[in-house]
Structure 1
Amino acid sequence: MSRSILAAVLLCSSGLLAPALAQSYVQVEALPNLREAEARARAYGSELRNVNGFRLSTGWYALALGPFANEAQARARLLELRRAGIIPRDSYVSDTRPYGQQFWPVGGAVTAPAPQPEPEAPAVVEAPAPTPAPEIDETPRQARASEGLLSRDQRKELQTAMQWFGFYKAAIDGSFGRGTRGSMAQWQEANGYPATGILTTRQRGELLDSYQGALAELGLGVVDEEQAGIEITMPIGLVEFDRYEYPFVQYSERDGSGIEALLISQPGDADTLFGLYEIMQTLEIVPLEGERSKGRRSFTLTGQNDEIHSYTYARTEGGYVKGFTLVYPPARADEMARVIEIMQDTLVINEGTLTPDLSDEAAQGVDLLSGLDVRQPKQARSGFYVDGRGRVLTTADAVESCGRVTLDDSIEATVTATGDGLALLEPTTSLVPLNYARLAASIGRLRSPVAVAGYSYEGQLQAPTLTYGTLQDIKGLGGEQELKRLELASLPGDVGGPVLDMTGAVSGMLADHDAQGRALPGGVKFALKASVLATFLSENGVVAAASEGGPRLAPEDLAVLGTDMTVLVSCWD
């Protein structure tokens, strides 16, 4: 054994030349959830070979490069990568203590390397290499000179990148004025550079690389949908084509992204556009909360609830109505706001549209629109106007435990009074009905004909129907004086509708009377008398109009009168 080897053995055995066992890492990022952390680990892994991911005690997920034999090696690598712009400027050297379970690379160690015991004697270690002086990229004068070589499109691209990260709010015009300079300074400060307001060549490269990386994560790409006549940039990395179902090209979520999209394509003009505006608001993918706006030839719809957000934009151009809907989780609202801007800015309307396929009868239904769920009320009943202000009378049961109430599906209403089995509704917007009830002065003659106007099929038909019957008794089966008994083949949707005599006077309201568990013959129905309606209205500030009588109306005239005064009352969650 040589003398030098023997000396080394003796020194090691005595602890005077113990090897440095502590390991170090370069921590580059910490992410709040595993999904984002894995995505970033893949991104770093395309450039670097020693990427690790560990769970932190705080619940976040750290990405770290290493391990390195000692802190000096880790710090040298940190400076090298930071100068090259490969890792963030706030990256730092860390030991293993903060790191818990390892999640990256897949199949890696279960936990981070355990801390080594302290050596019994001080280890002989080499002095750390001196920190190299930071490399100078360009002076502001040199940066401005290199900036002068940029084309207008390259300048626009820089503005677009700063806009994406929230630093730039003005128009993308390629002009580097005071606003652009201020945005550049903000970006420099946020990324650890001196805030000169003039990006160096390296900084411009870093900004654009970050921007392209963000776009790559979303998978933004151009879709040329020839069948629909639409060209648009959309997040094709997050959605995948599902099917055509007029007037939509439907894209479902990809790999659990939670993102869905529709491309809208149909022939039409402004009337078609605004018809679509109303229809879209009935879909479950357009929640009720959110801003709505209509222009002369376009509209936007936003919808928000605890589960989904959505944005719809459509416009009419060249005899077509085209646009898109983007549906996404609330947690992704910030990044989707930028995607929406891109989709709206890049929407190109080309020749041709989708055409309806009338052969697929199985997919059609009142609760579906092109395969999409239509928002449905809990129940729908009838009511009728009682004055020229558009106030409506219906049964109390029709509006019990409702999150909101609508008249004819689209008019919001509030319940202003209830009692005696009745409810008074008032529209939240100004409303002038075509006609309203005139209450009959008399109870009516037994066996005389009556008619009930109501939405028998709970809104499936666009207008009320008239159901004929007879007055069988002027009290209920139990002697109830507020009721009268009818012989009538009505349906549940008719409840709350006006009972008309043949002159058109309202002699009562069809009621859903509780028969106390008894199964009555199908044609036995009950109505609250006109006197009960008049008392309730008077107590709640409505002066009911009285019928002046008159001749018997023709069936078609009676139907028009019933249609004009009867309204669909819908109860929603």
Structure 2
Amino acid sequence: MMRQAFSLFVLLFTLVTAASAQDARWIQIEAQPTLAAAEDRARAWEGLFQDVNGFSTGSGWYVIALGPYTDAQAEARRAELRGENLIPGDSFVSDGASFGPMFWPVGATTPGVPEPDAPLADAPASDVPAPDATAPDTAANLTSEPDQPAFIDETPDEARASEAALSQTDREDLQRALMWFGFYDSTVDGAFGRGTRASMAAWQSAQSLEPTGVLTTRQRADLLSAYRAEETAFGFQTVTENEAGIEASLPLALVAFDHYEPPFVHFTAKDGGDTRIILISQPGEEAALAGLFDTLQTLQIVPASGPRANDGKSFTLRGESADRITEAYATTARGMVKGWLVSWNPATAPDMQRVLTMLKTSFRPIGDRALDPGLVPLSAGSKAGLLSGLEIKRPRLSRTGFYVDAQGTVLTTAEATAQCGRITLDTRTEARVLASDTASGLVLLKPASPLSPPASAAFTPATAGAEIAVSGYSYEDTLPAPVLTYGILEATTGLDGEATLNRLTLAALAGDAGGPVLTASGAVAGVLLPKGTGARQLPEGVAFAAPASAIAPLLQQAGITPATATDQTALTPQDLSARAQGMTVLVSCWE
């Protein structure tokens, strides 16, 4: 009986006050995450306006609003103030449904609604009509039992009826709000299908509400108010980059435009942090997109670990490490590549997923213009300074290897793979250790996906005194192709008579280690070993190689049958170089 009496009382109160309450409108101009910050801002706004009010919300934010007004007054007032640039461009009219207790002015109660012809802009604060002393301050005062709601909400049927009156923009805003809070991840189209209904139900469950999948008027107001409050905190504004031909909503409370460096438009952190947003714009089609995809992965700002995919028309990539997350996207259309990159420290900017959500839903190419590669001609020194943070990643060390079968299995020295976070072949293809031999100091590498090398090794023994050449990346990753270093096979044993070593007279460099020792016919007589690090000091020009006979057991261990060279015809220098380049590969070790 008590519940029925209470419900009847609330209904009567609602009917009596509906005529005035439904006309109450506010211009929400700002939201802050703490009460102290909100009070400071309200005090500042009060120096400009006389009808400043502050309300707490159920989402933990503090709203600053002008009002109250009638609906017509609020729209006219907002248009006037925005036209004079006196309030933020993203200020909006709210019905105050999500407003909680007032915190500003201190000790105040909710103001009454002015008459339609009441003055607005210049009225002193004392002229604002006082609340009716005979009426309750808020509907919350009606609660007589702890478990009773503070307002009468809609039934599911009533909620569907009110939802049907929403405009296309209103429906899309609800989807954006659900997406912002992580409940919706599909297209923002205003169509409330199965996916949108499921996300609404999930949001309701998170708010300890009945998960009907249909939001009531109050629930929609709460969701949108929380969404707009966070939007305001991030300072999202639509940025139109005419030079780049891109439009997107960016968090200008966090970042600001810094400089152009084609194909990048740089936005850097305002607070001296390391959050970065980069808009990408350049002429080109699939080839340019593929080149950009490869280039981004070589930047210091993009961690090596993380998913990435390129379907030829667009790509996505995400790099993750303990102190850096970077996400990028680009697409090609009408001869132009457009995209974005966002990079942040997860410890100092944990809410950046919200920024990503907004960027993904707002990003769009505009016009028929891409960033001119010659827009900002720079000296080498200036360019290096502006690209700070986008330096090319370099491997810890690089050595040489060579293909030993048609699937792209690579033989190299163990030195090239020791203590590596990852291993790459020619800086592009990921590889792992397939088999190793401690005695010989050699390893076999298997590429992450099968390769089709132009050439692979065919083995043959060599005799003492024979002319040989080593194909290697002498200068590690500095040069784009291997070079041939010529020498002599001095002996088929080591200095102490070891049968597992060949002694060479050869001016090799550190990067050559792991390279194939080639005979004049292009057959592989062995693999160059790194210079020893023991106490014995060898004269310059002395090097050692593991002969073909020492390589065979490792290949057989991995199930590879070594190919035997049958043609001993000497090749021309050009043909020998071409064969060497076809089988030689750069092996890089990364942190």
Q: Same fold (TM over 0.5)?
A: yes
User: Are 1:432 and 2:452 an aligned pair?
Assistant: yes
Any conservation in 2 of the 1:435–1:564 contact (CA below 8 Å)?
yes
The alpha-carbon deviation at position 506 of structure 1 amounts to: 1.2
The alpha-carbon deviation at position 528 of structure 1 amounts to: 2.1
User: Are 1:133 and 2:152 an aligned pair?
Assistant: no
Instruction: Tell me which amino acid in the other structure corresponds to 2:419.
Output: S
1:411-468 residue CA offsets vs partner (Å, 9 max, x unmatched): 2222122221211222232223211111123x3241x422110111212222211112
The alpha-carbon deviation at position 534 of structure 1 amounts to: 2.6
Cα 1:369–1:459, aligned 2, differ >3 Å: closer, same or farther? farther
Q: 1:86 aligned to 99, 109, 114, which one?
A: 99
User: Are 1:387 and 2:382 an aligned pair?
Assistant: no
Any conservation in 2 of the 1:368–1:374 contact (CA below 8 Å)?
no
Which residue pairs with 1:362 in the alignment? 381
Any conservation in 1 of the 2:501–2:547 contact (CA below 8 Å)?
yes
Which residue pairs with 2:253 in the alignment? 237
User: Are 1:538 and 2:538 an aligned pair?
Assistant: no
The alpha-carbon deviation at position 330 of structure 1 amounts to: 3.3
Which residue pairs with 2:476 in the alignment? 458
1:146-183 residue CA offsets vs partner (Å, 9 max, x unmatched): 65654322232233223323445554333556765675
Instruction: Tell me which amino acid in the other structure corresponds to 1:132.
Output: N
Q: How many Å separate the matches in 2 of 1:63 and 1:355?
A: 44
Which residue pairs with 1:93 in the alignment? none
Instruction: Tell me which amino acid in the other structure corresponds to 1:238.
Output: L
Which residue pairs with 2:37 in the alignment? 42
Which residue pairs with 2:509 in the alignment? 491
Q: How many Å separate the matches in 1 of 2:198 and 2:550?
A: 72
User: Are 1:336 and 2:352 an aligned pair?
Assistant: yes
Cα 1:195–1:440, aligned 2, differ >3 Å: closer, same or farther? closer
Which residue pairs with 1:8 in the alignment? none
Instruction: Tell me which amino acid in the other structure corresponds to 2:459.
Output: L
**3-state SS of paired residue (1:545):** coil
The alpha-carbon deviation at position 41 of structure 1 amounts to: 4.0
The alpha-carbon deviation at position 524 of structure 1 amounts to: 2.4
Instruction: Tell me which amino acid in the other structure corresponds to 1:552.
Output: A
Alignment of 1:299-338 (within 5 A): 299-330=315-346, 335-338=351-354
Which residue pairs with 1:294 in the alignment? 310
Any conservation in 2 of the 1:315–1:323 contact (CA below 8 Å)?
yes
Any conservation in 2 of the 1:248–1:370 contact (CA below 8 Å)?
no
Q: How many Å separate the matches in 1 of 2:459 and 2:386?
A: 40
Any conservation in 2 of the 1:246–1:370 contact (CA below 8 Å)?
no
Any conservation in 2 of the 1:391–1:424 contact (CA below 8 Å)?
yes
**3-state SS of paired residue (2:478):** coil
Any conservation in 2 of the 1:247–1:266 contact (CA below 8 Å)?
yes
Instruction: Tell me which amino acid in the other structure corresponds to 1:437.
Output: A
Instruction: Compare 192-201 and 388-397 and name the one that shifted more.
Output: 192-201
Cα 1:182–1:567, aligned 2, differ >3 Å: closer, same or farther? closer
Instruction: Tell me which amino acid in the other structure corresponds to 2:271.
Output: D
Cα 1:553–1:254, aligned 2, differ >3 Å: closer, same or farther? same
Any conservation in 1 of the 2:281–2:371 contact (CA below 8 Å)?
yes
Which residue pairs with 1:254 in the alignment? 270
**3-state SS of paired residue (1:425):** strand
Which residue pairs with 1:218 in the alignment? 234
Instruction: Compare 505-514 and 553-562 and name the one that shifted more.
Output: 505-514
Which residue pairs with 1:269 in the alignment? 285
The alpha-carbon deviation at position 200 of structure 1 amounts to: 5.8
Which residue pairs with 1:122 in the alignment? none
**3-state SS of paired residue (1:154):** helix
The alpha-carbon deviation at position 136 of structure 1 amounts to: 4.5
Instruction: Tell me which amino acid in the other structure corresponds to 1:465.
Output: V
**3-state SS of paired residue (1:314):** strand
Q: How many Å separate the matches in 1 of 2:501 and 2:349?
A: 55
Q: How many Å separate the matches in 2 of 1:474 and 1:456?
A: 24
Any conservation in 1 of the 2:266–2:279 contact (CA below 8 Å)?
yes
Cα 1:384–1:88, aligned 2, differ >3 Å: closer, same or farther? farther
Which residue pairs with 2:189 in the alignment? 173
Q: How many Å separate the matches in 1 of 2:311 and 2:550?
A: 47
Q: 2:442 aligned to 422, 426, 447, which one?
A: 422
Cα 1:250–1:177, aligned 2, differ >3 Å: closer, same or farther? closer
Any conservation in 2 of the 1:137–1:202 contact (CA below 8 Å)?
no
The alpha-carbon deviation at position 228 of structure 1 amounts to: 2.1
Q: How many Å separate the matches in 2 of 1:537 and 1:142?
A: 75
The alpha-carbon deviation at position 514 of structure 1 amounts to: 1.5
Any conservation in 1 of the 2:33–2:61 contact (CA below 8 Å)?
no
Q: How many Å separate the matches in 1 of 2:481 and 2:258?
A: 36
Instruction: Tell me which amino acid in the other structure corresponds to 2:524.
Output: V
The alpha-carbon deviation at position 44 of structure 1 amounts to: 6.0
Any conservation in 1 of the 2:97–2:222 contact (CA below 8 Å)?
no
> Structure 1: which 5+ residue stretches go unaligned?
1-35, 52-61, 65-82, 90-129
Aligned residues: 471
> Structure 2: which 5+ residue stretches go unaligned?
1-30, 44-51, 55-59, 63-95, 103-138, 144-149
Q: How many Å separate the matches in 2 of 1:353 and 1:511?
A: 49
Instruction: Tell me which amino acid in the other structure corresponds to 2:411.
Output: L
1:110-131 residue CA offsets vs partner (Å, 9 max, x unmatched): xxxxxxxxxxxxxxxxxxxx98
Cα 1:468–1:63, aligned 2, differ >3 Å: closer, same or farther? same
Instruction: Compare 339-348 and 141-150 and name the one that shifted more.
Output: 141-150
The alpha-carbon deviation at position 474 of structure 1 amounts to: 3.4
Cα 1:429–1:310, aligned 2, differ >3 Å: closer, same or farther? same
The alpha-carbon deviation at position 256 of structure 1 amounts to: 5.1
Q: How many Å separate the matches in 2 of 1:63 and 1:164?
A: 16
Cα 1:63–1:279, aligned 2, differ >3 Å: closer, same or farther? closer
Q: How many Å separate the matches in 1 of 2:167 and 2:140?
A: 38
1:130-152 residue CA offsets vs partner (Å, 9 max, x unmatched): 98315656655877666565432
The alpha-carbon deviation at position 567 of structure 1 amounts to: 1.0
Q: How many Å separate the matches in 1 of 2:208 and 2:42?
A: 22
Any conservation in 1 of the 2:308–2:317 contact (CA below 8 Å)?
yes
The alpha-carbon deviation at position 382 of structure 1 amounts to: 0.4
1:187-225 residue CA offsets vs partner (Å, 9 max, x unmatched): 566557777776565554443322111101112111122
**3-state SS of paired residue (1:157):** helix
Any conservation in 1 of the 2:290–2:312 contact (CA below 8 Å)?
no
Any conservation in 1 of the 2:503–2:544 contact (CA below 8 Å)?
yes
1:479-535 residue CA offsets vs partner (Å, 9 max, x unmatched): 444323323222211111011111111122111232634554432222222222234
Alignment RMSD:
3.8
Any conservation in 2 of the 1:488–1:524 contact (CA below 8 Å)?
yes
Percentage identity across paired residues of the two chains = 42
Q: How many Å separate the matches in 2 of 1:195 and 1:308?
A: 37
The alpha-carbon deviation at position 286 of structure 1 amounts to: 2.2
Q: TM-score, normalised by structure 1?
A: 0.72
Q: How many Å separate the matches in 1 of 2:453 and 2:191?
A: 57
